[in-house]
Structure 1
Amino acid sequence: MATIDFPDDLIELERSAWAEIQRGELTVDTARAVHDAIAAYVARDDVDATRLDVEMQLKRIVRHPETADAG
């Protein structure tokens, strides 16, 4: 799986969602915002990755930064 160069705003959105999940306070609005942002990112012409690949790498970067570069 190739490394994806995520925009900062998408990473921050996922970080917000992860923080809410850890507190047990994830809202529908936050979950929807992440979902919509990922969908918009995947739809860009310069992104050659599936939605699943994007979501998996984004979660890995946010939730497990120590292994994010380990491929």
Structure 2
Amino acid sequence: MAIELPDELIRLQREANLARLEAATRESSAEGWKPWLDAVNAVQTAVTAYAKEAGLSRHEVEKAVQTAAKTEAPPER
């Protein structure tokens, strides 16, 4: 069963993915990784809320979001 995901969840995951790439190219300090940690926390909070609201498994929603963020074309801005 495919999960219909809000665009916001995919956008948040893409931002977290980008923040991780940016952090990996910087220094290895806690401060350098803070933007990524903040982005990951935002994704987790949104995924948990969506899963609860939709009556879905948080784990399944998280997997679907991660897959969609990697495979779907970003929305046009």
Given the two structures, how large is their TM-score scaled by the length of structure 2?
A: 0.69
Q: Which has the larger radius of gyration?
A: 2
| 2:6 aligned residue | 7
User: What number of residue pairs does the alignment pair up?
Assistant: 62
TM superposition shift of 1:4: 0.8
* Structure 2 residue runs without a partner (length 5+): 25-32, 73-77
1:62 paired with 2:69, answer yes
Q: What percent of counterpart residues are identical?
A: 29
TM superposition shift of 1:19: 1.0
One-letter code aligned to 2:52: A
* Structure 1 residue runs without a partner (length 5+): 67-71
1:43 paired with 2:42, answer no
TM superposition shift of 1:35: 0.7
Given the two structures, how large is their TM-score scaled by the length of structure 1?
A: 0.74
One-letter code aligned to 2:61: V
Question: What is the root-mean-square deviation of aligned Cα atoms in Å?
Answer: 1.7
Rounded Cα–Cα distance in structure 2 between residues aligned with 1:39 and 1:52: 9
**Structure 1 stretches (4+) deviating beyond 4 angstroms?**
none
Rounded Cα–Cα distance in structure 2 between residues aligned with 1:48 and 1:32: 21
